[in-house]
Amino acid sequence: MRIKGSQKTGLCVYCGETKLLTRDHVIAKYFFPKPLPSKMLTVAACEICQKEKKGLDEYLRDSTAIDIQASNNLLTLRGRRSFADLPPDARSGFASP
């Protein structure tokens, strides 16, 4: 189903209900570097489901970024016996022991 300009009524791929539809990117646009691919996969979704999926996409993006930062910090900490063994720049943000 192609939805451009005026909204159309149809079956939402997420909830299965017949509602006014909007296009939802299957993989959120912010997971791609710019320039965006010219043909991105979209599906027909109702506005409620589209907003809910967007919130989940944002959560995934944010938690992935946090996990990458945490992993880098863990690599810095590996092999250290104590807080005092850490270089000064790795101690920032921690309370002094």
Domain ranges of the chain: 8-81
Asked if 44 and 23 count as a contact pair (C-beta separation under 8 A), the reply is yes
Instruction: Provide the residue type at 93 as one letter.
Output: G
Instruction: Provide the residue type at 69 as one letter.
Output: Q
- What are the tens digits of pLDDT across the range 21-77? 998 888 888 778 888 888 888 899 999 999 999 888 888 877 777 665 565 555 555
Query: Is residue 8's pLDDT more than 80?
Result: yes
Distances (CA, A) of 67 to 24, 31, 32, 33, 51: 26, 16, 18, 19, 24
Query: Is residue 12's pLDDT more than 70?
Result: yes
Distances (CA, A) of 53 to 14, 17, 27, 30, 72: 9, 16, 10, 13, 29
pTM higher than the cut 0.85: no
